[in-house]
Chains A and B, each alone.
Chain A
Amino acid sequence: MKSGRRHGLGRQRGAIVGLVILGGLALMALGAPWLSSRDPIRTAARDALQPPGARFVLGSDQFGRDVASRVLHGARVSLTVGLISVSIAVALGAPLGLVSGYYGGRLDGLIMRVMDVLLAFPGILLALAIVSVLTPGLTNVMIAVGLSAVPTYARLVRASVLSARENLYVEAARALGGRDLGILTRYILPNVVAPLIVTATLGLGTAILSAAALGFLGLGSQPPQPEWGRMLSEGRDYLREAWWISTFPGLGIMLTVLAMNLLGDGLRDVLDPRLQV
């Protein structure tokens, strides 16, 4: 038992590291216009491909734009995209799961079959298909990434509801003549919140990764918007002459996702030990 506790503490340390990184990123995102004096969009041909140094802290890209400034503004884009995508997924998935789990029967069967179909498109393929329908662009990437995560939340919430429904106090509330909506929100929803927070935190990392991947493929944000995935693909052609163009956005994505994963793992240990893999 002793080693188990030490293990748990170690995980919590990870969560703190994650929280610190996220705090830094949030500060960067919020303070981007003040932290960098240079315009992330305006080009200056004679400043092209400057290595990191006194003039450009993280160097400049092929259009003479300040990489540091673009990375800072990119943090804004990535964090926003992550938050909105996960909000879409939770806002659609959670109610579907609640209804499915609480009422059961044919409605449950129908909702879950639809989720099964969505899950038949592996990984980023579903988001790709949705983007192809909606046409490429940052807003549509958020919708696509959000929609493709709906089955995850619907299934998770449904499973939590199914187990919460069996509690004696739910039966008691029903015996006392409680209405469905009241029982759902007062007695069942609190059981769902903990696993939902854990999964949504981990989901933020996944969403940011998917959105950056779509950006890299040229299906997300359109130039000249500073977006990490797109910056990586723009730096691809200058890998030999200017490694800094793609390295710093790449680091940004990795650190953000890492922080979300650390925080999510830590939250899981605190809020919902049963979920542990």
Chain B
Amino acid sequence: MLIFVARRVLAVMPVLFGVTLAVFSMLFLVPGDPVKMMLAEFVTNPDQVAQMRAQLHLDEPILQQYGRFVGNAVRGDLGTSIRSRRPVATEIAENVGSTAQLALASMAVAIGLGIPLGLVAALGRNSWLDVAAMVVALLGVAMPSFWLGLLLIFAFSLHLGWFPATGGGDLHHLVLPAVTLGMIAAAIIARLTRSSMLEVLGQDYVRTARAKGLAWWGVVVRHALKNALIPIVTIFGLQFGNLLAGAVIVETVFSRPGLGRLVVGGILAKDFPLVQGAVLFVAVAYVLINVLVDVAYAFVDPRIRVA
């Protein structure tokens, strides 16, 4: 097990190297002079441009700049936001909690809705329930989260007044964004649960269990669902990444503070250090979460460790 963890962590190192390199080079891929672009609106004085260049260490050799970038990032220094003049790391730290809360709550919505929906569809295969569940899942996959969010605001805050339309902070503000974001993942999980369940239900051990005279529900839950969940767990990591990225949009819909709003605001304000820092943070977090999911998966299913 320890060897598996070590191997998995080692395998991820080149990816992390590549991610830092990609985020670092973002600044050099910008057409035109990045410094002038950042200053464009309020500074034209060449001395100030040169000063800014030195301040950002853009006058050093590229390799040295990259070394500094990674070294600083490892120590938690992601530079200074141009707009707020505060450390990017501080801005991220203030917003990460809100996004993590949203991602976790949506995951709960996705699992709580998706697995029962897929289960019901599989058990009543080709019945009207199956058709209805799969139509819901199909619509869910095609639904733009920003439209679903607006519809939920229209129904549950403007008309019924149950939940606030915008803002963040407490649980009350979390409900609509979490449902919006979780619904799409729920549709994917429901479709996967259905097909996985149908496959398992056709297995010999399920027939044997039923032939032994075990209660039908017991067979479904203890023998079938338990095995059907294995492929579903594998996509949790991937889905979590999608939720993190989806948060960018949902946070904007609900004017909710978070990493997504930070990135979008940064792009619109041409606050490059902020965008770089936040993108780097999310990508590295995503890679590390996937390692954790893999390790957890290997813990649950010993067959993985060998492969």
Contacts and interface: CB of A to CB of B under 8 A. Distances in A.
A221 to B, nearest CB: 15
Nearest to A251: B147
Contacts of B192: 277
Given A216-B252, A258-B138, A123 B275 contact: no
Contact of A229 (B142, B146, B153): B146
Nearest to B150: A246
B14 A121 contact: no
Interface in B239-253: 241-242, 244-246, 248-249, 252-253
A261 interface: yes
A116 B146 contact: no
B146 A122 contact: no
Residue from B125, B147, B253 whose CB has the most chain A CB atoms within 10 Å: B147
Contact of A123 (B125, B139, B241, B266): B241
Interface string B141-159: 1111111001101100010
Contacts of B249: 124, 213, 216-217
Nearest to A257: B142
B279 A121 contact: yes
A219 interface: yes
B211 interface: no
A132 B242 contact: no
Given A116-B18, A258-B138, A122 B275 contact: no
Contacts of B242: 122-123
A160 B252 CA distance: 39
Interface centre among A113, A114, A128, A243 (most CB of B within 10 A): A128
A113 B150 contact: no
Interface stretch (B1-9, B54-62, B113-121, B281-289): B281-289
Interface string A230-247: 001101100110010010
A254 interface: yes
A212 to B, nearest CB: 6
Interface in B72-120: none
Chain A interface helix/strand/loop/mixed: helix
B126 A253 contact: no
Interface string A128-148: 110111111000000000000
Contacts of B22: 117-118
Contacts of A134: 31
Contacts of A253: 144, 147
Nearest to B29: A133
Given A217-B252, A217-B264, A277-B195, A254 B245 contact: no
Residue in B146, B264, B286 with the greatest tally of chain A CB atoms within 10 Å: B146
B14 A120 contact: no
A188 interface: no
Interface in A203-219: 205, 209, 212-213, 216-219
Nearest to B261: A217
A232 B26 contact: no
B300 interface: no
Interface in A23-73: none
Given A120-B287, A133-B30, A254 B153 contact: no
B267 interface: yes
Interface string B247-286: 0110011000000000110111000100100010011001
A120 B18 contact: yes
Contacts of A217: 248-249, 252, 264
B248 to A, nearest CB: 6
* 9 nearest CB pairs, A to B: A123-B245, A122-B241, A117-B18, A250-B147, A258-B142, A257-B142, A132-B267, A122-B245, A216-B146
Interface of A: 3, 6-7, 113-114, 116-118, 120-125, 128-129, 131-136, 205, 209, 212-213, 216-219, 229, 232-233, 235-236, 239-240, 243, 246, 250, 253-255, 257-258, 261-262, 277
23 contacts: A3-B126, A113-B18, A120-B15, A120-B19, A121-B283, A122-B244, A122-B286, A123-B245, A125-B282, A132-B26, A132-B267, A136-B268, A213-B249, A216-B144, A216-B253, A217-B252, A219-B264, A236-B150, A254-B143, A254-B147, A258-B138, A258-B139, A277-B191
Given A217-B249, A250-B151, A258-B139, 6 more contacts: A6-B126, A123-B246, A124-B246, A128-B267, A131-B267, A216-B252
